Amino acid sequence: MIQYGKQCINQEDIDAVVSVLKSDFLTQGPQVPLFESRLSQFTQVKYAVAVNSATSALHIACLALGVGKGDRVWTSPITFVASANSALYCGADVDFVDVELLTGNMDMSQLRLKLADAKRKGLLPKVVIPVHLAGHCCDMKSLAQLATEYDFKVIEDASHCIGARYRQSPIGSCQYSDITVFSFHPVKIITTAEGGAATTNDATLAKSMQLLRSHGVTRDELHADHSDEAWYYEQQALGFNYRMTELQAALGVSQFKKLTDLVRRRNILADYYAEQLTALNIEFVAPGEDSYSAWHLMIILLPEQIDRKSVFEQLREANIGVNVHYIPVHTQPYYGKLGFKVGDFPVAEAFYQRIITLPLHPQLEFAQLDYICEQLKFLTSR
Ligand SMILES: *Cc1c(COP(=O)(O)O)cnc(C)c1O
């Protein structure tokens, strides 16, 4: 089976992890701060906070922005469930903003309408979480303007997106947001096995997320009457154990060396696909002119009259590990219990009906892409 996504691990990565195993620290050593400095340098941001998953990063990002009971958080229905769940962990209410039919990214004109309506009702969101689907950046300029106009905070879910750029600035630089979140799961652009991070330019938010990832416990800035007690530590908030291990961070530091090449390779493969798909008259989700995509996913859009299930099955039978990204979150049974129903976000649902994710990862060869596109020919020939 040609897998839809796959990590790239070389001997250098293996050596980096083994050397940590032989060192004094398996956790809470020098590798995590080193990984954070690589990330902040690369993304041109002031602070990076590494954690054990993007899900954890989304959770502490929401908490750091003060999301709690009675607050509203809006995100995209075309995402992995974690983007929405993070708000629920904080006791907040979640709602969704419908997407653009051609990109699956949050539709800023829909957001504008929804904000105007929410303002009239006094129900404005505290935080909006755009998701850069497939590694293609959302219209962040419009979003940032709305954030100023309606006074909400922005967390970018850039799980698909490390190595991408938007209007000349790296994703993660937080030029148009308060916090950006990355995932380092093995199917993503670079990996730490499990792992994630949040970046920000705001010192207070960074400090708050650092506290929350480790039980809310600190040895910094203790009360003066304890300053001579070497054993003393202090719990200042209700935090979690969301720490990244030294093994993961060392793998991440090593993976960073390849990031630019991996994203370049993804772009080369995506261009190759694009040429063939265009010749076959098959639409696909493509980045806007103002962004350089990380090309996490190649999502094709089938013509409306074609049955997605039969195409999907046919491709799997041809040993092509196709997938679907994503089932709209509001149609999940758990979200049904919260009151959402089919029909709530019609564009997301129409998008979902038409999509199939083709394999795309740096180790694929042109010949495999030729084979995949050959198998797609029947779509246009009937
Ligand atoms: C993968 C992913 C997540 C969750 O990442 P983890 O690191 O597995 O917690 C969140 N949002 C999106 C859009 C993702 O693709």
| Residue pLDDT, tens place only, 252-278 | 999 999 999 999 999 999 999 999 999
Q: How far apart are the first and last CA of the chain?
A: 26
Length of the chain: 382
Measured at the CA of 190, the angle between CA 48 and CA 315, to 5 degrees, comes to 140
Any ligand 1 atom below 6 A from CB of 183: yes
By most ligand atoms within 8 Å of CB, the mutation choice from 51, 55, 189, 326 for ligand 1 is 55
Any ligand 1 atom below 6 A from CB of 199: no
Query: Distance, CA 185 to ligand 1 centroid (Å)?
Result: 7
Burial of 187 (0-12, 13-18, 19+ CB in 10 A): middle
Q: How large is the average pLDDT for residues 55-68?
A: 98
Q: How large is the average pLDDT for residues 36-64?
A: 98
Any ligand 1 atom below 6 A from CB of 160: yes
Res. 220 pLDDT band, cuts 50 70 90:
confident
Q: How large is the average pLDDT for residues 128-143?
A: 98
Nearest to 370 by CA among 277, 295, 290: 277
Nearest to 214 by CA among 235, 188, 195, 229: 235
pLDDT at 91 over 60: yes
Res. 223 pLDDT band, cuts 50 70 90:
confident
Task: Report in angstroms the alpha-carbon separations of 212 from 14, 52, 143, 193, 215.
Answer: 30, 12, 27, 22, 6
pLDDT at 382 over 60: no
Query: Distance, CA 8 to ligand 1 centroid (Å)?
Result: 18
- Cβ neighbors of 380 (< 8 A, separation 6 or more) are 280, 281, 282
**377 membership: H or E segment, kind and range:** helix 366-381
Query: Distance, CA 159 to ligand 1 centroid (Å)?
Result: 5
Task: Report in angstroms the alpha-carbon separations of 114 from 79, 125, 221.
Answer: 19, 10, 43
pLDDT at 380 over 70: no
Q: How large is the average pLDDT for residues 150-168?
A: 97
Confirm if 134 and 140 have CB atoms less than 8 A apart: no
Confirm if 295 and 269 have CB atoms less than 8 A apart: yes
53 CA closest ligand 1 atom index:
7
Res. 49 pLDDT band, cuts 50 70 90:
very high
**Looking at residue 226, what is its pLDDT?**
83
